[in-house]
Structure 1
Amino acid sequence: MSQNASQKPVRPVYLLFAHEPYYPGPGSWEINTTVVAAASLLHPRLRQPDGARIHNRLVRGRRVGEIVPLATLTHELDGGARWRQVGDWETVTADLLRLVQERACDAVSLCLPDIARALLCAGPHSQVRTVGPEGGRQSTYGPADRVEVLVEVGRHLARVEVGCPLWPGDGLLPLLQSAPDE
């Protein structure tokens, strides 16, 4: 779909998910976290209708350009108790990662440090505690630190998207109509 030259690209909502680390090629950095446009969840090669239901849940009430960690959705779904009503997030994110690796959609692939990754894998109100290897110095990281990580991911995403939003893939399925109780 082409855009009018006077229009700014629209920044959609994004899904951020952590996964088992992989190395895309010889001499490359470890990739342990990925950001995709929410519309990638509508890709026909993902488990459906799970991907479309997760998309509906992801975009509801979000700001344009918001990056939503999978852990935030889990938190919103009563700590994961309601995931079965929405979809199989494990299969859908595995399918998404395969799409990214096959370049069937755009993504921002990240190598996040352990603490940053842990913060994004924890709920929005969680704390991550560490104990230093020497002397046992304890540190606690919380919601404000998580926000800082998301801001930095957002800056990186903005640099990647200059002039062109992430491509969610081709042949996307239509949006599902939300059920009244969702």
Structure 2
Amino acid sequence: MNEPSKPMLPAEHGRVPDGYQSAGVSLYLLFAHEPYYPLPAREINTCVVAAACLLHPRITQPDGMRIHRRLVRGRRPGEIVPPATLTQELGGGARWCDVGDWEAVVAGLVPLVRNQGCDALGLGLAPIERALLCSGPDGTVRVVDPATQECTSYGPPEREAVLNQVRHHLAWAEAGGSLWPGGHLPGSPGARP
């Protein structure tokens, strides 16, 4: 499996105020999106943000708040949660309608990240890695070699390996401070710390 390209660091790093702990800043949402290219030959197709970004006023509400509540429920500090994990927890997606429109929320997160309305770890994941994170925790990604017709399967162990790589990059990115979830969140001072 290829290692993801070097993460893109936020322009500024600041410590998140203590009050954000209860808002889930110690948890993260990892989401795939259409690629963009901040630098020549530098593809960003996946981002990790603090879970509290879901509370940002530029995110579709109350969907962001409901997804945030679902995301933080019963999680360990530092956990990175892709929407595919939530989809599995929500009966294979059957109960998303009870929570919120995750596609609209992710569509709102991309411009928030690109316009530096919050900090994010931007990654250029290889197609198989990205597919593993977009499938549920128990999913399998099968790749067929067109020349030999040989099929290779990737499953939960490979998905966990990709998440471990992302955790490593996130720890490196947060060495100077936690990812800033953006200003004007409920209970926040509104400015970059």
Provide the TM-score with structure 1 as the length reference. 0.88
* Percentage of pairs with the same residue: 59
The aligned counterpart of 1:13 is 27
Are residues 1:163 and 2:176 paired? yes
Alignment match of 1:68 (pick from 81, 101, 117)? 81
The aligned counterpart of 2:21 is none
The aligned counterpart of 1:22 is 36
Alignment match of 1:114 (pick from 127, 131, 143)? 127
1:100 CA displacement: 0.1
Equivalent-residue separation in structure 2 for 1:154 and 1:42 (angstroms): 23
1:135 CA displacement: 1.2
Are residues 1:59 and 2:72 paired? yes
Q: What runs of 5+ residues in structure 2 fail to find an aligned partner?
A: 1-14, 19-23, 188-193
1:169 CA displacement: 0.3
Are residues 1:89 and 2:90 paired? no
Specify the SS of the correspondent of 1:161. Answer: helix
CA gap of 1:131–1:37, structure 2 versus 1, over 3 A, is: same
**Cα RMSD for the two superposed structures:** 1.8
Provide the TM-score with structure 2 as the length reference. 0.83
Specify the SS of the correspondent of 1:156. Answer: helix
Equivalent-residue separation in structure 2 for 1:125 and 1:153 (angstroms): 19
Equivalent-residue separation in structure 2 for 1:82 and 1:2 (angstroms): 32
**Which amino acid is 2:38 matched to?**
P
1:23 CA displacement: 1.1
Give a deviation string over 1:9-33, Cα, whole Å, max 9, x none: x9700000111111124x1411111
Q: What runs of 5+ residues in structure 1 fail to find an aligned partner?
A: 5-9, 175-182
Equivalent-residue separation in structure 1 for 2:34 and 2:176 (angstroms): 31
1:163 CA displacement: 3.2
Equivalent-residue separation in structure 1 for 2:114 and 2:79 (angstroms): 23
Equivalent-residue separation in structure 1 for 2:16 and 2:30 (angstroms): 26
Which residues of 2 match residues 28-47 of structure 1 at below 5 A? Answer: 28-47=41-60
1:170 CA displacement: 0.4
Asked which structure has the greater RCO (Cα within 8 Å, sep 6+), the reply is: 2
Give a deviation string over 1:39-76, Cα, whole Å, max 9, x none: 00010111111101000000111110000011001111
Equivalent-residue separation in structure 2 for 1:132 and 1:80 (angstroms): 31
Q: Which runs of 4+ in 1 moved over 6 A?
A: 1-4
